[in-house]
């Protein structure tokens, strides 16, 4: 029943976006998320959304996938839009009844915010869709390596993330097994009040905890057997290289951000 | 040339007994063992016989409390030798799930060589070689959790091979596998020994796995109670049973028949040998009538 859970979904492919240097991809994704908040007029927003659509096409992933990533946050989008509709009271009133004032300005703001949120979620899921979790952790380790200067152990942080990702499916499988075992002994997990159901989880969590510690101990032994001694003197099989395409990407994103700022000055703001 | 040399190795844990008084639990008691380069040694023993503890002494995971372990002449108790010894003596553990580190097969195999600080090109070459040796090259981009137990254990072996060890120590590598997985892993191990001349130390409690070894070492209560060729060791059925071990089925059958006065040769290991011997006796009987 838990096998449906996937975290950091990755869809292997060979598109330009897949082959991009993961470090650059990570930085540019953050840059894009920031850039989405620059535009204050429709033209600027259209440029940001256009850029997103262009990258989706570049990834050669079905657009349906990207839309699916928005589904879980739909309630948040609706909630924020609703708040904006009711709270922004500038502009021409369209509907006025008791305490409800809907104005043109409110609707504009709501639409604007909704498009921003959708773009930023779609943009960041595009990152995880086109980059394997290990590559992503690896990129993070390399990007954060300057923090070694302030005595932050970046390597250990990345190692922990890698191991966590590796063991998610294993632990899910184990939870399934323990649940079946407890059900076979008559444990009732699906009925009763909330408190009862929470209490019914205890006999599942305890064996899971115990076995996780056992696994951790064994994994540590196995890592020692393979000469692991922390990040020092360790090399990596996969090297990350910046290629011409990565530089082009950086340039495009920088130009887009600059363009958005210019548009803010040229055109009148709508929000 | 002995690659692994254990000289009067003792090992004990210090624990408290029920009354709270300190007591020491002797796990290894005066072990002397030489393992030659290219040899296939099976270490047999019941649970708690100390066989896994002994294995952990071979790559400096545990250090002897008495005596010494020499790997290619290097003492395991010397801290400076630790990583070189761990590279030379590659160890595969029981649970394949708990020894794979990465979410992608080839990255997991690369873990060992990466720790050794090798050049990326060299790592790529070694990962490729190791995966093709265990027959898992087609799965190099798969996620480990989607593989079968036998496949996972072969990946674990590849992860060790990529460090180019001189000796392979396997601590009950098949204990958690189904029959198919066991077969895959055992075939891989004996092929490595035959074709590459890899020294193999196989810790197990399955008798039939030991039948292919050059030498069988039987342990009980932290001591070596018997050693010799599989044929020599398995002919001593009484002694093995006393140590809490089973003998391979054909050997057991022949031993019991021998006890009933049927003149069978001692030390029969395989089903083929057993049927040949029995057929011969039946033919002799028919000729006699």
Structure confidence by residue, pLDDT tens digits, B176-229: 899 999 999 999 999 999 999 999 999 998 888 888 899 999 999 999 999 999
Mark residue B165 as left, alpha or beta (left: phi above 0; alpha: psi -120 to 50; beta: remaining). beta
B200 touches A: beta carbon within 8 Å: no
Cα-flanking dihedrals φ and ψ of residue B109, to 5°?
A: -60, -30
Tell me how far apart the alpha carbons of residues B285 and B276 are, in angstroms, rounded to a whole number. Answer: 14
Domain assignment present for residue B237? The answer is no
Cα-flanking dihedrals φ and ψ of residue B124, to 5°?
A: -55, -45
Give the number of other Cβ atoms within 10 Å of residue A86's Cβ.
15
Split at pLDDT 50, 70, 90, the class of A99 is: confident
Confidence check: pLDDT of B23 > 60: yes
C-alpha distance from A207 to closest chain B C-alpha (Å): 16
CA distances from B209 to A245, B40, B183, B206, B237 (A): 55, 11, 10, 6, 17
- Our CA angle for B55, B86, B185, nearest 5°, is 60
Pick the more confident residue, B40 or A72: B40
Q: What is the predicted pLDDT for the residue at B157?
A: 95
Residue among B61, B118, B141 whose CB faces A224 most closely:
B61
B278 touches A: beta carbon within 8 Å: no
A165 touches B: beta carbon within 8 Å: yes
Pick the more confident residue, A4 or A49: A49
- Our CA angle for B223, B226, B227, nearest 5°, is 115
Among the ranges given (A27-41, A111-125, A246-260, B235-249), the one the predictor scored with the smallest mean pLDDT: B235-249
Residue of A nearest to B121 (CA): A237
B147 touches A: beta carbon within 8 Å: no
Quote the pTM value.
0.82
- Using a CB-CB cut-off of 8 Å, the residues of chain B touching A222 are 93, 98-99, 101, 156
Between chain A and chain B, the number of residue pairs with CB atoms below 8 A apart is: 95
**Helices in chain A by DSSP H: which ranges?**
16-19, 22-35, 42-59, 63-70, 74-87, 104-130, 133-144, 154-184, 194-225, 244-266
DSSP per-residue string spanning B249-263? HHHHHHHHHHHTT--
A172 touches B: beta carbon within 8 Å: no
Choose the final residue of a domain: B230, B256, B274.
Answer: B230
Compute the half-sphere exposure of residue A209: CA atoms within 13 Å on the CB side of its CA. 6
Identify whether residues B216 and B148 lie together within a single domain. yes
Identify whether residues B210 and B260 lie together within a single domain. no
Cα-flanking dihedrals φ and ψ of residue B116, to 5°?
A: -80, -5
> Over the stretch B113-133, which tens digit does the pLDDT of each residue have?
999 999 999 999 999 999 999
Identify whether residues B123 and B218 lie together within a single domain. yes
Three-state DSSP class for B83? helix
Q: What is the predicted pLDDT for the residue at A8?
A: 56
Q: What is the predicted pLDDT for the residue at B118?
A: 94
Residue among B90, B97, B120 whose CB faces A237 most closely:
B120
Q: What is the predicted pLDDT for the residue at A31?
A: 95
> Over the stretch B149-165, which tens digit does the pLDDT of each residue have?
999 999 999 999 999 99
- Quote the DSSP letter at residue A4: T
Give the number of other Cβ atoms within 10 Å of residue B183's Cβ.
13
Mean pLDDT across the stretch A42-63? 92
Residue of A nearest to B100 (CA): A219
Domain assignment present for residue B135? The answer is yes
> Is B117 in Cβ contact with A235 (below 8 Å)?
yes
Percentage of the residues of chain A whose pLDDT score is greater than 70: 97
- Using a CB-CB cut-off of 8 Å, the residues of chain B touching A132 are 103-104
Residue of A nearest to B142 (CA): A12
> Over the stretch B32-84, which tens digit does the pLDDT of each residue have?
999 999 999 999 988 888 999 999 999 999 999 999 999 999 999 999 999 99
Expressed as residue numbers, the domain containing B254 is 248-289
Three-state DSSP class for B93? coil
A64 touches B: beta carbon within 8 Å: no
C-alpha distance from B154 to closest chain A C-alpha (Å): 15
B159 touches A: beta carbon within 8 Å: yes
Tell me how far apart the alpha carbons of residues B197 and B257 are, in angstroms, rounded to a whole number. Answer: 38
A228 touches B: beta carbon within 8 Å: yes
Query: What is the DSSP pairing of strand B89-92 with strand B167-171?
Result: parallel
Domain assignment present for residue B241? The answer is no
Confidence check: pLDDT of B252 > 90: no
> Is A162 in Cβ contact with B98 (below 8 Å)?
no
Total domains, chain B = 2
Three-state DSSP class for B213? coil
Tell me how far apart the alpha carbons of residues B211 and B234 are, in angstroms, rounded to a whole number. Answer: 9
Confidence check: pLDDT of B110 > 90: yes
Identify whether residues B216 and B271 lie together within a single domain. no
- Using a CB-CB cut-off of 8 Å, the residues of chain B touching A219 are 98-99, 101
Tell me how far apart the alpha carbons of residues B176 and B94 are, in angstroms, rounded to a whole number. Answer: 7
How long a stretch of residues is chain A?
271
Q: What is the predicted pLDDT for the residue at A3?
A: 47
> Is B145 in Cβ contact with A169 (below 8 Å)?
yes
> Is A223 in Cβ contact with B120 (below 8 Å)?
no
Identify whether residues B252 and B167 lie together within a single domain. no
Among the ranges given (A135-149, A185-199, B68-82), the one the predictor scored with the smallest mean pLDDT: A185-199
Domain assignment present for residue B242? The answer is no
C-alpha distance from B222 to closest chain A C-alpha (Å): 22
Tell me how far apart the alpha carbons of residues B274 and B286 are, in angstroms, rounded to a whole number. Answer: 18
Tell me how far apart the alpha carbons of residues A140 and A30 are, in angstroms, rounded to a whole number. Answer: 13
Domain assignment present for residue B236? The answer is no
Residue among B101, B124, B143 whose CB faces A237 most closely:
B124
Task: Name the range with the highest mean pLDDT among A92-106, A203-217, B11-25, B275-289.
Answer: A203-217
Residue among A132, A223, A235 whose CB faces B120 most closely:
A235
**First-to-last C-alpha distance (Å) of chain A:** 46
Copy the structure tokens of residue B182: 């066991």
> Is A221 in Cβ contact with B93 (below 8 Å)?
yes
Q: What is the predicted pLDDT for the residue at A253?
A: 94
Residue of B nearest to A133 (CA): B103
C-alpha distance from A10 to closest chain B C-alpha (Å): 12
CB B222 within 8 A of CB B192: no
Identify whether residues B150 and B62 lie together within a single domain. yes
> Is A215 in Cβ contact with B145 (below 8 Å)?
no
Rg, Å, chain A Cα set: 24
Q: What is the predicted pLDDT for the residue at B174?
A: 92
Q: For position B222, which CATH number holds?
A: 3.40.50.300
CB B26 within 8 A of CB B220: no
ipTM of the complex: 0.86
- Using a CB-CB cut-off of 8 Å, the residues of chain B touching A160 are none
Three-state DSSP class for A256? helix
> Is A235 in Cβ contact with B114 (below 8 Å)?
yes
Identify whether residues B40 and B174 lie together within a single domain. yes
Identify whether residues B212 and B158 lie together within a single domain. yes
The CB-based long-range contact list for A238-241 (8 Å cut-off, 24+ gap) reads A238/A135, A238/A138, A238/B107, A238/B120, A239/B120, A240/A21, A240/A22, A240/A23, A240/A138, A240/A139, A240/A142, A241/A21
> Is B123 in Cβ contact with A166 (below 8 Å)?
no
Identify whether residues B186 and B276 lie together within a single domain. no
Identify whether residues B152 and B266 lie together within a single domain. no
Identify whether residues B70 and B164 lie together within a single domain. yes
> Is B97 in Cβ contact with A12 (below 8 Å)?
no
Which 9-48 residues of chain B touch chain A by CB within 8 A?
none
Domain assignment present for residue B286? The answer is yes
CB A94 within 8 A of CB A107: yes
CB A30 within 8 A of CB A140: no
Residue of A nearest to B81 (CA): A227
Domain assignment present for residue B271? The answer is yes
Identify whether residues B155 and B96 lie together within a single domain. yes
């Amino acid at each position: 029943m838990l096998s449906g859970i996937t975290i950091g979904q990755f869809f292997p492919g060979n598109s330009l976006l897949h082959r991009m240097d993961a470090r650059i991809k990570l930085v540019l994704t953050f840059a894009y998320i920031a850039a989405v908040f620059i535009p204050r007029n429709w033209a600027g927003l259209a440029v940001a959304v256009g850029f997103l659509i262009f990258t989706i096409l570049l990834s050669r992933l079905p657009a349906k996938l990207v839309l699916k990533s928005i589904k879980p946050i739909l309630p948040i989008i609706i909630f924020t839009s609703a708040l904006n509709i009711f709270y922004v009271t500038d502009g021409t009133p369209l509907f006025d009844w008791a305490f409800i004032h809907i104005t043109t300005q409110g609707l504009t703001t709501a639409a604007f915010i909704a498009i921003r949120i959708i773009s930023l979620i779609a943009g960041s899921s595009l990152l995880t869709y086109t980059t394997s979790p290990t590559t992503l952790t690896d990129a993070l380790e390399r990007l954060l390596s300057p923090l070694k200067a302030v005595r932050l152990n970046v390597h250990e942080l990345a190692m922990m993330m890698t191991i966590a990702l590796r063991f998610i499916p294993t632990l899910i499988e184990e939870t399934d097994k323990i649940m079946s075992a407890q059900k076979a002994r008559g444990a009732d997990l699906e009925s009763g009040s909330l408190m009862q159901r929470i209490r019914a989880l205890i006999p599942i969590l305890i064996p899971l905890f115990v076995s996780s510690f056992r696994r951790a101990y064994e994994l540590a032994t196995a890592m020692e057997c393979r000469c692991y001694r922390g990040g020092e003197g360790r090399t990596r099989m996969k090297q990350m290289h910046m290629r011409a395409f990565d530089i082009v990407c950086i340039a495009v994103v920088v130009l887009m951000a600059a363009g958005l700022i210019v548009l803010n000055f040229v055109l009148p703001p709508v929000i | 040339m002995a690659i692994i040399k254990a000289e009067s190795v003792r090992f004990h844990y210090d624990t408290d007994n029920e009354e709270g008084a300190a007591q020491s639990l002797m796990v290894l008691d005066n072990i002397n063992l030489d393992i030659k380069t290219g040899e296939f040694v099976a270490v047999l023993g019941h649970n708690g016989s100390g066989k896994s503890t002994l294995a952990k002494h071979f790559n400096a995971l545990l250090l002897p409390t008495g005596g010494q372990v020499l790997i290619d002449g290097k003492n395991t108790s010397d801290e400076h030798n630790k990583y070189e010894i761990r590279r030379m003596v590659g160890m595969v553990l029981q649970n394949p799930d708990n020894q794979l580190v990465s979410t992608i097969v080839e990255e997991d195999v690369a873990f060992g060589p990466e720790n050794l600080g090798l050049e990326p090109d060299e790592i790529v070459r070694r990962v490729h070689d190791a995966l093709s040796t265990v027959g898992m090259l087609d799965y190099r981009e798969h996620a480990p959790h989607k593989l079968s137990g036998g496949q996972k254990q072969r990946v674990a072996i590849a992860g060790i091979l990529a460090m180019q060890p001189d000796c392979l120590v396997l601590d009950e590598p098949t204990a958690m596998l189904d029959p198919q997985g066991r077969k895959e892993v055992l075939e891989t191990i004996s092929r490595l020994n035959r074709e590459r001349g890899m020294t193999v130390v196989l810790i197990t409690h399955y008798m039939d796995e030991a039948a292919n070894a050059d030498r069988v070492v039987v342990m009980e209560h932290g001591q070596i109670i018997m050693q010799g060729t599989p044929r020599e060791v398995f002919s001593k059925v009484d002694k093995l049973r006393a140590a809490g071990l089973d003998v391979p089925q054909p050997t057991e059958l022949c031993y019991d028949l021998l006890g009933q006065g049927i003149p069978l040769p001692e030390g029969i290991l395989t089903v083929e040998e057993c049927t040949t011997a029995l057929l011969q006796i039946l033919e002799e009987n028919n000729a006699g009538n």
